[in-house]
Amino acid sequence: MKARLNLQEYANGIAKGDRVVLAKAITLVESTLPVDRALADQLIEKILPRTGNSIRIGITGVPGVGKSTFIEAFGKHIIETHKKKLAILTVDPSSPLTKGSILGDKTRMEELSRNMMAFVRPSSSGEAVGGITHRTREAIHLCEAAGFEIIIVETVGVGQSEVAVKKSVDFFLLLMLAGAGDELQGIKKGIMEMADVVAITKADGENKNKANEARSEYQHALHLFRPDVSGWSPKVLTCSALLQEGMDAIWNTIVELQQLLQNQGLLEYRRNQQQVEWMHECFDQLLKQQFEQSASLQKKNKHLENEVLNRRTTPQQAAQSMLSDFIELLRTTKS
């Protein structure tokens, strides 16, 4: 297959569930080349009517919790027991120096990568906030249009603003470890509040009792949080990827919440709000790109940075000056 396809070839391949075309389409939306971005925008608009028919699940967790191992076990359970097509978008940490991604998740999920009912796609997080890429939402839509019924977004992990994940999915699953010291240390209260379910992993062998103890502690802590508008109270479960235990309980909980949101009309409302937030994020990104593409503004920016460093102006004043220069540039360009 040729490397570069036209709009109709992309759309036809995705409609047929062609995994090769889907992979190429995700590469297209991740590209920063202007010609690719223009084609990607047309493609997303064209496939939009075929989107929105999946369950979108965000999964994050503390370092060492075994996200990839859990996702492989959970994904196999979804495919084998519930006969659902599954797409996994894993966001790998990228080097702050080279911007290169480790991209190890595809090799860690060997069985799912070979399963024709699954699609595993690693991407570099780059400078994306919250550990998801700027184009993750577009990749979700492409996977939905290709017929995948469950979309899992695995994030880099706790430590960045996981709000970005919550804004992209229907269900937020937080994976935690037991026996790693104080159970409530090292995890931000805000992330706990966003979780729909907390799953204690590696609940097997000698660690099983510790996992059950941790479950009680987390459940007690979550009871102190106010339920969201749907009335849903976060649940704490235990699981073992090694023994394939607890997977159905997690899946049933996801389905339970999905049905609750649908019955209350909140699922459609949430997704509509996510679309509007996506629009505003795109606008902010376009403004930033416009600013960075101006040689004159970049020159003034360097000058203002020096002014701030030498304490001749405040960051607030410098920012206001940058904004004024930007507005003037737009006015001059328009006239």
pLDDT in tens, 264-296: 999 999 999 988 988 888 888 888 888 888 898
Q: Which sequence spans correspond to the domains of the chain?
A: 1-50, 52-264, 276-334
Query: Which pLDDT does position 95 carry in this prediction?
Result: 41
- Cα separation, 112 vs 120, in Å, equals 7
Q: Is the Cα dihedral 297, 302, 305, 307 positive or negative? A: negative
pLDDT in tens, 214-226: 898 888 888 777 7
pLDDT-based confidence at residue 134 (cuts at 50, 70, 90): low
CATH code of 1-50, in short, is 1.20.5.170
**Rounded CA Rg of the chain:** 22
Task: Find, among 194, 255, 181, the residue nearest to 222 by Cα.
Answer: 194
Summarised one tens digit per residue, pLDDT across range 36-82 is 999 999 999 999 999 999 999 999 887 788 888 999 999 999 999 99
Task: Say yes or no: do domains 1-50 and 52-264 share a fold.
Answer: no
* Least trusted range by pLDDT, from 19-28, 46-55, 180-189: 180-189
Q: pLDDT at position 272, please?
A: 93
Q: What is the pTM of this model?
A: 0.86
Bridging pattern class, strands 55-61 and 150-154: parallel
Task: Yes or no: say if 173 and 59 are a contact pair by the CB < 8 Å rule.
Answer: yes
Q: How far apart are CA 64 and CA 112, in angstroms?
A: 21
Instruction: Tell me if 6 sits within 8 A of 46, measured CB to CB.
Output: no
For residue 107, is pLDDT > 50?
A: yes
Q: How far is CA 20 from the centre of its chain?
A: 22
CATH T-level topology, domain 52-264? Rossmann fold (3.40.50)
